Copies of this chain bind each other. A is one copy, B any other.
Amino acid sequence: MQKEHNLSRNQKIIFDLIDKSGEPMKAYSILFNVQKKGIKAPLQVYRALDKLVEIGKIHKIESRNAFIACQNSSCQISKATAFSICESCENVSEISNSKLSKYLSNFSDDSGMKYSKYNLEFFGLCKKCKSK
């Protein structure tokens, strides 16, 4: 069961927008879309985004400076994320593969560093784009 975070007004507006869109959204595109709801300034958007990332409701696609709703109910905190990104149509989806996440969560090398978090982005061509 996913813990319900009580989102604040701005957080809820922004999460709903991203969630409904189903694809990565950029901060200023979000801003444009919520201006009619009274959110007028970039900082209001970035603050909500920061919080939503922190509690794992959304993730940042680092290579795209964009934010997508979490598609993986088991991932309550953004500490182990993996995405597949089509370099042609820019479609992004979250990968939830338990073997992969187990492998990466347990990964350690000889640096003596204990990793508490990772983010992985795979790139390629999606089915549609491949067949064009």
A interface with B by C-beta (< 8 Å) = 62-63, 84, 86-87, 93, 95, 97, 100, 103-104, 107, 109, 111-127, 130
Contact = CB atoms under 8 A, between A and B. Distances in A.
The oligomer's copy count stands at 2
Nearest to A79: B123
Contact of A120 (B86, B119, B124, B127): B119
Nearest to A60: B63
Given A63-B62, A107-B100, A127-B112, A121 B122 contact: no
A121 B118 contact: yes
B109 A63 contact: no
A115 B63 contact: no
A119 B118 contact: no
19 contacts: A84-B109, A87-B117, A97-B109, A103-B103, A107-B122, A113-B125, A114-B125, A114-B130, A115-B122, A115-B123, A117-B123, A118-B120, A118-B121, A118-B122, A118-B123, A119-B120, A119-B121, A120-B120, A120-B121
